[in-house]
Amino acid sequence: MAALVGYRFPGGRYTIAHWENWLLTDCTGAEQLGDGLVHPIALFHVPILGSGTSIAEIFVLLGVAGPGSVGLLGYDWEYFVPLREGVEYRCEGGIVSAERHVTDTGHVFDEIAFSVELFDESDQLAARITNRWKCNRGMS
């Protein structure tokens, strides 16, 4: 697992369209923010898609599949500037930590974290997400 640390996603760009932001905001039951501001829920998918990968590809990279093989341990969202509709964000990131654990009962699991940064059109860091997952490996 330690060899995964430093793995980089392909990277890419993502622009949040007005319709996308409207739908994401609507599904939360919140009021539209106005002035082209993007609802925070966009950080669930924009960084991953923008960095040129997908949840399915990350699962393959981590060697997990099937029900109960992955659990969310937590996520951190950092905003440095407000995200806006119509802005093309450059997205880059990868695996930042990986640690194997064995419980007293012999259950093996890995704690994996990946991080993606979004840069705006002036190359200013706009946001960063860090997701931490528990990848179940079974019994040793």
> Which of 15-29, 63-77, 104-118 is predicted least confidently?
63-77
Given a cut of 70, is residue 35 above it in pLDDT?
A: yes
The residues pairing with 110 across neighbouring beta strands, listed in sequence order, are 100, 135
pTM: 0.89
* Burial track 15-26 (b if 16+ CB lie within 10 A, e otherwise): ebeeebbeebbe
Phi first, then psi, for residue 3 (nearest 5°) are -65, -20
63, two tokens: 């060697």
Is the confidence at residue 13, as pLDDT, over 90? yes
State the Cα–Cα distance between residues 32 and 39, nearest whole angstrom: 8
Q: Is the pLDDT of residue 57 over 70?
A: yes
User: What is the CATH topology of the domain spanning 2-139?
Assistant: Thiol Ester Dehydrase; Chain A (3.10.129)
Please report which confidence band the pLDDT of residue 139 belongs to, taking 50, 70 and 90 as the band edges.
low
| pLDDT at residue 2, rounded to an integer | 84
> Which sequence spans correspond to the domains of the chain?
2-139
Of the candidates 98, 92, 95, which has an alpha carbon nearest to the alpha carbon of residue 128?
A: 92
Q: Strands across the sheet with 88-102, in order?
A: 12-15, 88-102, 107-119, 125-139, 70-79
* pLDDT above 70 for 140: no
93-119 residue pLDDT tens: 999 999 999 999 999 999 999 999 999
Residue 42: predicted pLDDT:
94
